[in-house]
Amino acid sequence: MASSIAVQTLQGFDDVQFRLSNSGKARLWDPAIIPDSWTKLRVGLCAVIPGTATLASSNLAIGICSGITQPYGKETVQHFVGAKYGPAWTFSAGTPDNYQAITVKPCKKNGSGETLGTTLSSGLNAAAELVRVAFFVDITRGSPNYTIETARWSNLGANDVTPASFLTGMAVAMASIGGWDSDYTAVAGQTVAVDVGTDGQFNAVNVFWDTASPTLSDCIIAVARLA
């Protein structure tokens, strides 16, 4: 598994970015900004999947985890919860070319066992050309059920999501996400049971792409406390 740093021309500008190839990222957050008393977090990813064909077995996980030594993507995971996109992604030519993740589900993983909740949505989820698209995953704490909500890129707009726009969108309520960018639609949440007492408290953001090619050209990963 490998991650690399690349320079790629996006909308006419050189952009330094991480590129994931059957690999992931896990980053601790600042407990002064996100204390253990949080009740709702948003994990955001701004990315491109520069492919040209339908994918049959590609999974993208976006969420939070306990520590950074055994995040999602390791053989044994130390507690992850979030959304899982895939494994099938339909490629369509258009303006821009795009991928649709056929299935998006709440996901909880601890050790080698994985629990998937009720399907959240299918829809246009990623651009296949050099146009950045935002993935937003909201995680609301419950006992024991955590609620997972997502926003999908649904209107096939060709607007590149700049870093500044992405960070603005990180703070917009999911119900108002279309006001941030009319190409995006909120998706009703679904739940998955979580036990932090047994499996570990969350303190890191985690993204994993399990495919070597096409890569996930990952521009920005962010986490925000919404409540």
CATH number, domain of 31, equals: 2.60.120.200
Count up the domains in the chain and report the number.
Answer: 1
Helix (H, G, I), strand (E, B) or coil at 202: coil
Helix (H, G, I), strand (E, B) or coil at 23: strand
Per-residue pLDDT at 14: 42
Assess if residue 8 is contained within a domain: no
Assess if residue 65 is contained within a domain: yes
pLDDT digits (tens, 9 = 90+) for 132-143: 899 999 999 999
pLDDT higher than threshold 80 for residue 65: yes
Count other Cβ atoms within 10 Å, centred on residue 27: 14
Rounded Cα gap, residues 168 and 162, in angstroms: 10
Assess if residue 6 is contained within a domain: no
pLDDT higher than threshold 80 for residue 7: no
Assess if residue 3 is contained within a domain: no
Q: Residue 140 corresponds to which tokens in the numbers above?
A: 């609301």
Average pLDDT of the chain, as a whole number:
87
Q: What is the mean pLDDT of residues 53-63?
A: 95
Whether pTM exceeds 0.85: yes
Q: Residue 14 corresponds to which tokens in the numbers above?
A: 């050189």
Name the DSSP class of 12.
T
Assess if residue 9 is contained within a domain: no
Rounded Cα gap, residues 140 and 160, in angstroms: 28
Q: Which domain holds residue 218?
A: 15-225
Rounded Cα gap, residues 118 and 116, in angstroms: 7
Assess if residue 1 is contained within a domain: no
pLDDT higher than threshold 60 for residue 2: no
Assess if residue 10 is contained within a domain: no
Dihedral of CA 123/189/169/194: which sign? negative
Rounded Cα gap, residues 71 and 171, in angstroms: 25
